[in-house]
């Protein structure tokens, strides 16, 4: 812990005074009170990035889905379960943030006909199997990116194939400043990660590293790209 504090102390204060808002972890969409649809996500990448941003001098708010992780020192953690809860928690503070980093693996759909009581094994239809209907969840990153005078936006894309193609498409369609791509099978619950950065200039691969080292490098890349704060305009 002392070692960690020393390491934190000596990190360059690249984000001094900046307000950084992050999301991390999966979301969990109820099927019934005990069953959920969720994403395989340990939350480790998002928590490492929250820690790296705090070490770099930022005021960090972390909106987190269910994980077994504890919030890094100095980070304000807001716990949520569903994508809609995460959307609400993020949009409530996003207009005040300088940087928004969307790391959470947000469920794209929720179950429309979720049950308020546990579905019995022999319940549901005649076959004893459930019939689930879905509807789309809000797109948190796209909504933040569309805010007038909103924060500088960083997205993450976890893909299982055609990473470059999907990542660049995602960056453009959501209108975000920087997109961080990784291959999903490499990173889920792993402690190391190899990221690629996609911005208006193209693709920039980063070396493989443990998640904290990768997070610190990513913070430096973000800090280097942030626009200087201009005077307020009416």
Query: Which residue lies nearer to its own copies by CB, 95 or 175?
Result: 175
> Distance between terminal CA atoms of the chain?
47
Distances (CA, A) of 115 to 13, 59, 108, 172, 203: 48, 39, 19, 38, 45
- Pairing relationship of beta strands 202-205 and 196-199 according to DSSP bridges: antiparallel
Distance CA 114, CA 37 (A): 11
Stretch that binds its own copies, among 4-12, 52-60, 134-142, 208-216 (CB under 8 A): 134-142
Phi and psi at 28, nearest 5°, equal -125, 120
Q: Which residue has the tokens 């204060």?
A: 13
State the minimum distance, in angstroms, from the CB of residue 189 to its own copies: 8
Stretch that binds its own copies, among 11-19, 83-91, 105-113, 191-199 (CB under 8 A): 105-113
* Residue number, 39 or 61, with CB nearest to its own copies: 39
Report the residue from 105, 145, 180, 218 that binds its own copies according to the rule CB under 8 A: 105
Among 78, 93, 164, 184, binds its own copies (CB under 8 A): 184
**Piece of 53-61, 153-161, 198-206, 214-222 that binds its own copies (CB under 8 A):** 153-161
Determine whether 226 is exposed, middle or buried from the number of CB atoms within 10 Å of its CB (0-12, 13-18, 19+): middle
70 binds its own copies per the rule CB under 8 A: no
CA 157/CA 84 separation, integer angstroms: 20
CB 21 within 8 A of CB 64: no
**113 classed as catalytic:** no
Structure tokens belonging to residue 196: 């690629």
Question: Residue 149 or residue 161: which is nearer to its own copies going by CB?
Answer: 161
Q: Indicate whether 42 belongs to the interface with its own copies (CB under 8 A).
A: yes
Tell whether residue 113 is a contact of its own copies (CB under 8 A). no
Active site residues: 39
Where on the chain is the footprint of its own copies (CB under 8 A)? 28, 31, 33-42, 67-69, 105, 107-109, 117-118, 121, 128-130, 132, 134-136, 158-161, 184-185, 188
């Amino acid at each position: 812990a002392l070692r960690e504090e020393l390491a934190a102390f000596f990190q360059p204060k690249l984000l001094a005074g900046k307000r950084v808002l992050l999301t991390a972890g999966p979301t969990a969409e109820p099927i019934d009170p005990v069953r959920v649809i969720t994403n395989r996500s340990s939350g480790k990448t998002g928590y490492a990035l929250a820690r790296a941003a705090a070490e770099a001098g930022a005021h960090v708010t972390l909106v987190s889905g269910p994980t077994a992780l504890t919030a890094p020192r100095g980070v304000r953690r807001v716990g949520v379960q569903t994508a809609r809860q995460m959307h609400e928690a993020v949009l409530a503070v996003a207009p005040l943030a300088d940087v928004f980093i969307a790391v959470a693996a947000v469920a794209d759909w929720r179950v429309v006909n979720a049950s308020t009581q546990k579905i019995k094994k022999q319940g549901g239809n005649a076959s004893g199997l459930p019939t689930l209907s879905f509807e789309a969840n809000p797109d948190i990153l796209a909504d933040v990116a569309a805010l007038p005078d909103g924060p500088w936006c960083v997205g993450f894309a976890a893909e299982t194939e055609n990473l470059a193609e999907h990542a660049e498409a995602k960056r453009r369609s959501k209108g975000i400043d920087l997109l961080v791509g990784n291959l999903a099978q490499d990173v889920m619950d792993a402690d190391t990660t190899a990221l690629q950065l996609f911005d208006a200039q193209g693709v920039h691969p980063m070396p493989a590293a443990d998640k904290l080292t990768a997070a610190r490098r990513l913070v430096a890349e973000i800090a280097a790209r942030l626009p200087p704060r201009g005077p307020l305009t009416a």
